[in-house]
């Protein structure tokens, strides 16, 4: 049993190979700067003796077709996979499934057509995801391919949370609504949390906080998402590395009128020049925490704005859920920054949130709890694993289609 997970971006290809029914990760790779003179490919894997090994290649990789070839050669050299034909299935990360996909699906011509139709909603991501699907199908035409959508987990959100207060026809005609992203991560950590707490997920209210360069929160009731902070695009919600998250939309009209900024400049301003980077010039939370500890004024602003926004979302999702059993921190910042976790939980004791400073300061890679003993609400740090989740959903779809494997 071998499942390959592909995450095809506009100039990159991430891949991970899972073996056996237990889905053990055996090799993972990253091909970057596809289309550049400086492309690079790196594969890390565990050999027969259990040693960590690396294979590296630096030569121009002109397109995704060549990238998949390079991936195949590297996997063969590592001894992990002789041919793509050996695969049980290929799972693809697809960013936008719109309202068409509430579940992962086996890819066929209709699915490809539907993903193409959604390109206007994700003009940067869906075309890149489609290239990965097309090239993988060329190389391994008989291997089942499955699309796993970032938006699918959030399709359970009710209308009062996904509708914007805009003229209704904009939803009906233009599909303007909240979709939410990072769905595979939110779904994965919520399930892990339920397992850790040894409680059926159906009985839990969970807030999941995926805090990386992109950041989003989700409110999950009985295993179903009822609200999430990213919106029609990943720009809405929490403060992020370079994205503003929530702002007064009138700021855009003001900037257009007063400073003459055009649509593309406003897009770049909000998506690439705002967030942590906009406030303090850096989007690396580790460095920001270090600078803030040395009393750097702008680093302190950035950290404080980030954590205050986070706290507001925690509070609002506690209200939306009618109380919460567990809050999960994940993503590069959520898993590693004790400072951020501490700051966003500060002063929330009356709401049942009591963080244990000692447990919070411990660094470890496993799932762990950081609340004080007897605290009403469990606070968990859970390393996310989006590739594992995609592999697991891929396997599920293939098993459902073929009967038990
Ligand atoms: P991406 O969304 O690109 O996958 P990650 O989930 O890898 O991002 O998260 C990247 C963020 O995690 C960066 O801001 C980085 O500084 C932060 N981070 C990683 N380790 C630490 C740490 N020890 N302390 C604070 N922030 C950290």
- Encode pLDDT of 220-231 as tens digits: 999 999 999 999
Indicate which atom in ligand 1 lies nearest the CA of residue 241.
Answer: 14
Nearest atom within ligand 1 for CA of residue 213: 2
- Mean pLDDT on 19-39: 88
Name the pLDDT band for 149 (thresholds 50, 70, 90).
very high
Contact status, residue 353 vs residue 377, Cβ threshold 8 Å = yes
- Assigned token pair, 399: 């098993």
The CA distance from 293 to 102, in Å, is 44
Query: Does residue 62 carry a pLDDT above 60?
Result: yes
Residues of the chain with pLDDT > 70, as a percent, come to 99
Residue 141 and residue 206 in one domain: no
CA of 21 to the centre of ligand 1 (A): 31
Q: How many domains does the chain have?
A: 2
- CA 82 – CA 164 distance, rounded (Å): 50
**Percent of the chain residues topping a pLDDT of 90:** 86
pLDDT value of residue 115? 96
Least confident of 73-77, 151-155, 183-187, 379-383: 73-77
Q: What is the model's pLDDT at position 316?
A: 98
Enclosing H/E stretch for 303: helix 297-321
Q: For residues 243 and 357, state if they share a domain.
A: yes
Q: What is the mean pLDDT of residues 62-73?
A: 91
Which of 333, 382, 385 for a ligand 1 pocket mutation test, highest count of atoms within 8 Å of Cβ?
333
Q: Which residue did the predictor score with more confidence, 121 or 147?
A: 147
26-40, 189-203, 235-249, 325-339, range with the lowest pLDDT: 26-40
Q: Is residue 271 part of a domain?
A: yes
Ligand 1: centre distance to CA 219 (Å): 22
Q: Are residues 249 and 370 in the same domain?
A: yes
Question: Does residue 29 sit within a domain?
Answer: yes
pLDDT at 403: 55
Pair 292, 213 in one domain: yes
Q: Say yes or no: 222 and 119 in one domain.
A: no
Which residue would you say has higher pLDDT here, 145 or 26? 145
Whether residue 124 sits in one domain with residue 216 = no
Say if 254 falls within a structural domain.
yes
Q: How far apart are alpha carbons 392 and 48 in whole angstroms?
A: 24
| DSSP code at position 23 | T
Distance 120 CA to ligand 1 centre (A): 30
Rg (CA), the chain: 22
Q: Whose CA is nearest to atom 26 of ligand 1?
A: 286
Q: Please tell me the predicted confidence (pLDDT) of residue 217.
A: 98
Q: Are 59 and 132 in contact (CB under 8 A)?
A: no
Give residues (CB < 6 A) around ligand 1. Answer: 212-214, 241, 284-286, 289, 331-333, 336-337
Q: Are residues 27 and 134 in the same domain?
A: yes
Instruction: Decide: 86 and 2 in contact? Cβ < 8 Å.
Output: yes
Strands 2-8 and 13-19, by their bridges, are antiparallel
Centre of ligand 1 to C-alpha 112, Å, is 33
Q: What is the CATH number of the domain that holds 44?
A: 3.30.420.40
- The residue range of the domain holding 71 is 2-149
Q: Confirm if 238 and 312 have CB atoms less than 8 A apart.
A: no
Could you read off the pLDDT of 39-57 as tens digits, one per residue? 999 999 988 788 899 999 8
- Whether 184 is in a domain gets the answer no
Mean pLDDT of the chain: 95
Q: Tell which one of 125, 182, 208, 212 to mutate to probe ligand 1, the residue whose CB is within 8 A of the most ligand atoms.
A: 212
Buried b (16+ CB within 10 A) or exposed e, 306-317: bbebbbebbeeb
Residue 259, Cβ neighbours under 10 Å: how many? 10
Shared domain check, 208 and 137: no
Q: How far is CA 9 from the centre of its chain?
A: 13
106 and 254 fall within a common domain: no
| Average of per-residue pLDDT across 15-42 | 90
Contact 146, 394 (CB under 8 A): yes
Residue at 323 is within a domain = yes
Q: Are residues 228 and 289 in the same domain?
A: yes
Strands annotated E in 192-338: 205-211, 215-221, 224-228, 326-330
The model's pTM: 0.94
Q: Does residue 21 carry a pLDDT above 80?
A: no
Q: Which residues form the catalytic set?
A: 150
Residue 7 within any structural domain of the chain: yes
Q: What is the pLDDT of residue 405?
A: 54
Domain annotation covers residue 121: yes
Q: Are residues 116 and 15 in the same domain?
A: yes
pLDDT of the residue at 91: 97
Lowest average pLDDT, out of 49-63, 92-106, 237-251, 343-357, goes to 49-63
Structure tokens at 10: 């506009």
- Residue 50 makes CB contacts below 8 A (sequence gap 6+) with none
| pLDDT value, residue 154 | 98
Distance (Å, whole) CA 34 – CA 297:
39
Question: Does any domain span residue 166?
Answer: no
Average pLDDT over residues 312-319: 98
* Band (298; pLDDT cuts 50, 70, 90): very high
Together in a domain, 19 and 132: yes
The predicted-structure confidence for 122-140, as pLDDT tens digits, reads as follows: 888 899 999 999 999 998 9
């Amino acid at each position: 049993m071998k499942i390959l997970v592909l995450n095809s971006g506009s100039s990159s290809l991430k891949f991970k190979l899972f073996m056996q029914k237990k889905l053990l990760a055996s090799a993972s790779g990253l091909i970057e700067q596809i289309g550049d003179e400086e492309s690079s490919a790196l594969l890390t894997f565990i050999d027969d003796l259990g040693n960590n090994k690396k294979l590296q290649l630096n030569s121009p990789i002109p397109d995704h077709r060549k990238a998949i070839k390079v991936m195949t050669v590297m996997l063969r050299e590592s001894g992990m996979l002789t041919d793509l034909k050996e695969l049980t299935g290929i799972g693809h990360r697809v960013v936008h499934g719109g309202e068409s996909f509430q579940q992962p699906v086996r890819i066929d011509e209709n699915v490809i057509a539907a993903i193409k139709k959604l390109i206007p909603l994700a003009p940067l991501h869906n075309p890149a995801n489609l290239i990965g699907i097309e090239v993988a199908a060329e190389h391994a035409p008989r291997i089942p391919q499955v699309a796993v959508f970032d938006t699918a987990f959030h399709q359970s959100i009710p209308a009062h949370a996904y509708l914007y207060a805009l003229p209704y026809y904009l939803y009906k005609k233009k599909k303007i609504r909240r979709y939410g992203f990072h769905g595979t991560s939110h779904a994965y950590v919520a399930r892990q949390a339920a397992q850790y707490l040894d409680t059926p997920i159906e009985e839990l209210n969970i807030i999941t906080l995926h805090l990386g360069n992109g950041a989003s929160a989700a409110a999950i009731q009985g295993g179903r998402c009822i609200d999430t902070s990213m919106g029609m695009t990943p720009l809405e919600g929490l403060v992020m590395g370079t994205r503003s998250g929530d702002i007064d939309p009138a700021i855009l009209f003001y900037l257009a009128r007063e400073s003459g900024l055009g649509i593309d400049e406003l897009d770049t301003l909000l998506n690439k020049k705002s967030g942590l980077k906009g406030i303090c010039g850096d989007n690396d939370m580790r460095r920001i925490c270090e600078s803030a500890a040395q009393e750097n004024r702008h680093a302190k602003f950035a950290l404080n704005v980030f954590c205050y926004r986070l706290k507001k979302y925690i509070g609002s999702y506690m209200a939306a859920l009618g109380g919460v059993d567990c809050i999960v921190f994940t993503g590069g910042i959520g898993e590693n920054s004790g400072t951020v976790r501490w700051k966003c939980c500060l002063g929330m004791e009356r709401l049942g949130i009591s963080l244990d400073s000692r447990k919070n300061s411990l660094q470890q890679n496993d799932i762990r709890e950081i609340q004080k003993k007897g605290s009403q609400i469990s606070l968990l740090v859970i390393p996310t694993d989006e590739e594992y989740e995609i592999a697991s959903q891929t396997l599920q779809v293939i098993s459902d289609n073929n009967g038990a494997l």
